[in-house]
Chain A
């Protein structure tokens, strides 16, 4: 009598794997829009981001980097199930950290009843409240992706045009990180930290422009 050990293999669906890939790309694109929205308020409306706002931007970028890693690996054809799970876990950790930061800022402005909040509101909510909503959305999105890991690991499309679209979105995200580096350098100047209530670009003042 021979004993047989059977290992349950996950049943993968091509359709779900393609959906998972574009879901990850949509995640990156969504955060690109959020970062672009923050930039438009900073430059078009002339509002300066406070240090806590900047720390929340860091958290958004930190949550998106593992997803970018997943998409880049998928495009290279080197994505494994364990690496996918690792990336989703990293995004959840960054989002939990980001949500703590936004919760702190929300409570800071709720604590004082006369406090009108920092900056102007968008659709009735301040930017830090929107940030908290995005972090909660990321946690939910990644949790669903983890729950579906048995049937869907992102698979990049074979078509060159679709691959180019995905790559362009990755480049847009990288360009936004570069733009944030420049923006923060202009705000901080030669100091290592942001002022508590920024009212001008310190670098230009330090250079006498």
Chain B
């Protein structure tokens, strides 16, 4: 969440485009890793 705050601050301040994109991409990967960590059970569903 702190990473998101830093990303938002950098975007608001209008710093270099690559920093906004790098921080945003790192935040996205961190979020997906956190999601993977919290998904512990297998769903018994048939599609």
Contact = CB atoms under 8 A, between A and B. Distances in A.
A78 B4 contact: no
Interface string A54-98: 010011011001101100110010100001001000100110010
Contacts of B7: 65
B12 A174 contact: yes
Contacts, number: 86
B44 A181 contact: no
Interface residues of B, number: 28
A52 interface: yes
A178 B11 CA distance: 15
Interface in B7-43: 7-9, 11-12, 14, 17, 20-21, 24, 27-28, 31-32, 34-35, 37-41, 43
Interface stretch (A13-21, A100-108, A121-129, A157-165): A100-108
Contacts of B24: 62, 65-66, 90
Contacts of A51: 34, 38
A94 B1 contact: no
A101 B38 CA distance: 11
A55 B38 contact: yes
A55 B31 contact: yes
B12 A72 contact: yes
Interface residues of A, number: 39
Contact of B38 (A107, A181, A196): A196
A62 to B, nearest CB: 6
A110 B9 CA distance: 39
A66 B38 contact: no
Given A52-B35, A101-B35, A111-B45, A178 B27 contact: no
A65 B8 CA distance: 6
A170 B8 CA distance: 10
A55 B43 contact: no
Interface in A124-177: 170, 173-174, 177
A104 B41 CA distance: 11
Give the 5 A-B residue pairs with the shortest CB-CB distance, closest first. A69-B11, A51-B38, A58-B31, A181-B1, A55-B35
Given A108-B43, A177-B5, A196-B38, 13 more contacts: A66-B24, A69-B11, A76-B14, A86-B17, A101-B35, A107-B43, A170-B12, A177-B1, A178-B5, A181-B1, A181-B5, A193-B38, A196-B40
